[in-house]
Amino acid sequence: MKIIKLSFASALMALGACTHVGQTWVRDYDGNQLSITSGKVGSDEHFINITNTNRTWVGSYKGGEYMVPARKEFLKSVAESEASQICKGNFAPTKDISYEMLDRSPGLFGDGLLGYAVASALSEYENLPTAAHYHFQCPNDDGYDAAKAIAPSAALISTTTIEQTIVTGGMPQPQTPAPVAPNAAQQNAVPAPVATPDAATAAPATTQPTTPTNVPYQGGYLNAPKN
Amino acid sequence: MRQKTKFLIIAVLLSSCGHLDPTPYQASDQGGFGYVDRPIATGQYEIQVRGNTATSAYTLERYFNHRATELCGGDNYESFIKHEKETEIHDGRLTGYYFTPTTTSAIPMVTGTVTCKSALPQAGIVPIVPPVAQ
C-alpha cells in the first residue's frame, strides 16, 4: 500500500511540475473506454496517462484478481503504442510504468487520509488497475537526454539488438539503455486480451508488418481487439 | 415586492443553468470537447471530434470534414469515419464492493483517418470559414 501511495504521490508531483497537457483521445477496446492523455513534463520528457473512464473492466478483460496482470500488460502495450506514435518511431522510457490501484478518485471521499483509506477499502480487483502513467523521451527531440532513459521493455527490444548478440556470442555485455525501436507491427499491434492467469505473462501478440498507408482505417485504434 | 424580485432572480438563474450551447468548432479544450488530430503517416492524419451532449453527431461529422479540409489544404482527401459514443458516468452504486454505474450519458463522438490526395498543402488556399454549431 505504501508503494502505491508513494507512486501515486510522485506521479502527482511529477505531473504538477511544468506539465503541459497536449491531447486527450478516447478509445474503445472491447467495450472498455480508455481516456488517453498525453503531454510534456518540462522540456524533454513526455507523459501518457491512460484511464479506464468506465471504472469497471468488461469484455475480455472482465474478471477478478487473476485478470489484473493482463490488464496491466494491456495498458502498458497501449502506452507503448501511443509513445511510438508520439515519437514517430523510437522512444525511451524514463520511468517504470506506474498503475493506479484505486477504483475511484481518492478525492471522492475527501482529500485527507480518511478519504484515501475509504477509497482503498472500496477498491476491488474487478476494477483494477484504473489508470496507468508512463514517462518517456523521444530521441528525435532537441532536449533528448540518453542518461535519463531506463532499460527498454523486453517485449520491445529491437531485432537488431538480438541479432548483434547472436553474432558476437558469449555473455551479453551491459549496454547503455537504448531507445526502444518497435517495428511496424509493434506500433500497430495491441496484445490480444487473455482469458487465463497463465496466459497473462505471455508475450504480446504481433501481426505481420504492414505499411501504415496501405492499412484502411478499421474504426478502432491500432488494430484493437474486437469481438 | 421583495419576494417577486427573489423569484425573478431564481428564475433567471435556473433558465441560464438549463441551457447548454453545442460545442463550437475548436481545438480540444480542457474539458475534452473539440477536435484532436495527429499525423500517422505522410499525408495521413487521425482525427477525433468530441462534443458535449448538445452537439449532434451530424455537427461533429461536419467538424471532422472541416478539420480534414484544413489539414489537407482543400477537399482533396479521402476519409474513413466512424461514429462512436463516449460514455460519461454521473452516478453509481456499490454492490458489495463493486461499483456499478447507474446514471450515464452516451455522448456522440467521431473518429477516423484522413488521407490527403496531395501530401503537401496547396498554396494560395482561400481561408475557410468555420462551420457554426447546430
- DSSP string computed for B94-128: EETTEEEEEEEEEEEEEEEEEEESSSSPPSSPPPP
Query: With left for phi above 0 and alpha for psi between -120 and 50, is residue A98 left, alpha or beta?
Result: beta
- On chain B, the residues whose CB falls within 8 A of the CB of A130 are none
Closest chain A residue to B48, measured at CA: A25
Residue B131 lies in a domain: no
Please tell me the predicted confidence (pLDDT) of residue A196. Answer: 43
Residue B42 lies in a domain: yes
Question: What pLDDT digit, counting tens, does each position of A65-82 carry?
Answer: 889 999 999 999 999 999
| Most trustworthy range by pLDDT among A116-125, A148-157, B49-58, B111-120 | B49-58
Position A205 pLDDT exceeds 80: no
Residue B6 lies in a domain: no
Residue B84 lies in a domain: yes
Question: What pLDDT digit, counting tens, does each position of A9-57 carry?
Answer: 555 555 555 777 778 999 999 889 999 999 988 888 899 999 988 878 8
Nearest to A122 among B41, B97, B100 (CB): B97
In this prediction the pTM is: 0.64
Position A105 pLDDT exceeds 60: no
Residue B40 lies in a domain: yes
Angstrom distance (rounded) from CA A106 to CA A118: 8
Residue B130 lies in a domain: no
Question: Does the CB of A85 have a partner CB in chain B at under 8 Å?
Answer: yes
Short-list B48, B57, B47, B51, CA closest to B25: B51
Cβ pair A217:B87 closer than 8 A: no
Cβ pair B40:A212 closer than 8 A: yes
- On chain A, the residues whose CB falls within 8 A of the CB of B83 are none
Read off the C-alpha cell for B24. 463550437
Would you tell me which residues 99-138 of chain A have a C-beta closer than 8 angstroms to some C-beta of chain B? 103-104, 122-124, 126-127
- On chain B, the residues whose CB falls within 8 A of the CB of A33 are 86-87
Cβ pair B38:A23 closer than 8 A: yes
Question: What pLDDT digit, counting tens, does each position of B58-106 carry?
Answer: 999 999 999 999 999 988 999 999 988 887 777 766 665 566 677 777 8
Q: How many domains are there within chain B?
A: 1
User: Which of A8-22, A143-157, A186-200, B42-56 comes out lowest in average pLDDT?
Assistant: A186-200
Please tell me the predicted confidence (pLDDT) of residue A20. Answer: 76
Residue B122 lies in a domain: no
Closest chain A residue to B85, measured at CA: A28
Read off the C-alpha cell for A208. 505481420
- On chain A, the residues whose CB falls within 8 A of the CB of B26 are none
Cβ pair B87:A54 closer than 8 A: yes
- Which alpha helices (H) appear in chain A, and where do they start and end? 2-16, 68-86, 113-122, 159-168, 184-188
Residue B49 lies in a domain: yes
Position B127 pLDDT exceeds 90: no
Print the domain residue range for B60: 21-116
Angstrom distance (rounded) from CA B31 to CA B15: 23
